Structure 1
Amino acid sequence: MRPSLVRSVRPRRQVRNTAPLLPPLQLYRAILRAHASKLPTELRPLGDQYVKAEFKAHQKIDNPLHIVGFLTQWQDYLREIDGGTWLDGKMKQQDLEKMSPEQIGQLYELMQETKKIGISQDEESL
């Protein structure tokens, strides 16, 4: 089939404004550097531990589709940290619907840990 026909048959995908994917190690280091400069001091250890655990858990993945998805999501996270949009703290409903029960459980645990940090800060300020 000619390329011009293939383009007309395939549905057009929405193209996000994306940069090329960073290699895993470069992305990992960039995230940790962003945490050092952008996150509040009390949230940095929690963020660093989470990033390290996730990258370690996904280190041996062979499926290219999973690798691209993983790197894309973490690169989006890096953009949010660098741009300061993480402070908005809102998650879209469609993102929640895509999550597995395990991911929702992890998100809940993360929320509980951040609440503990907030409570300990309030107690220190008294």
Structure 2
Amino acid sequence: MAGRTVLQAAEAIERFPLLLYKRILRLHYALPKEARLMGDTYVRDEFRRHKNVEPAQALVFLKEWASYCHTLSKQLSVKGIVNKTPIGQDFSSEFIDNFSEEQLHQLLELRVEAERYLGRNEIAKLLENSNSPEQK
């Protein structure tokens, strides 16, 4: 009996990434259409990119996505909706300091797309102005 429990636990650990992935996609159904599409694409790409990573990296990856899943489920719960809890969470400066250059670039792209969705293109305009040569 105990051996069977250990085997079931091992199978549950192996299936956890898939279950987490599906749970996140189900939560995204409650988001506005554009946010859902952007979120689903991002989640799908991230889970594919991290499919064959080292166990230590996989643990960090799954921990962060589990935290996202927990936070989003609280924000989308009846209590969160009644209290008008905003969806999303700001990053701490310590968290951002640990980002690689590529991660910072991805974060900027995500922010630009989110602002386009919200009808605010402030960052996109700043980037365009900084990339264009000065006219004299």
Question: Is the shorter-chain TM-score for this pair beyond 0.5, marking a shared fold?
Answer: yes
1:75–1:88 CA distance, 2 compared to 1 (3 A): closer
Instruction: Return closer, same or farther for 1:86/1:108 CA change in 2, 3 Å cut-off.
Output: farther
- Give the number of equivalent residue pairs: 99
Amino acid at match of 2:21: Y
1:103 corresponding residue in structure 2: 103
Question: Corresponding residue for 1:26?
Answer: 19
115 and 48 in structure 1: CA distance in 2 versus 1, 3 angstrom threshold: same
1:1-126 → structure 2 map (5 Å cutoff): 23-37=16-30, 39-61=31-53, 63-84=54-75, 87=87, 89-119=89-119
- Partner-residue secondary structure (3-state), 2:34: coil
Query: Alpha carbon RMSD of aligned pairs, Å?
Result: 2.1
Structure 1 residue 88, shift from structure 2 partner? 5.2
Normalising by structure 1, we get a TM-score of: 0.71
Is the Cα–Cα contact under 8 Å of residues 80 and 86 in structure 1 kept in the other structure? no
Q: TM-score, normalised by structure 2?
A: 0.66
* Runs of 4+ residues deviating >2 angstroms: 85-89
Unpaired stretches in structure 1, ≥5 consecutive residues:
1-20, 121-126
Distance (Å, rounded) in 1 between the aligned partners of 2:25 and 2:70: 13
Q: Which has the higher contact order (CA 8 A, sep 6+)?
A: 1
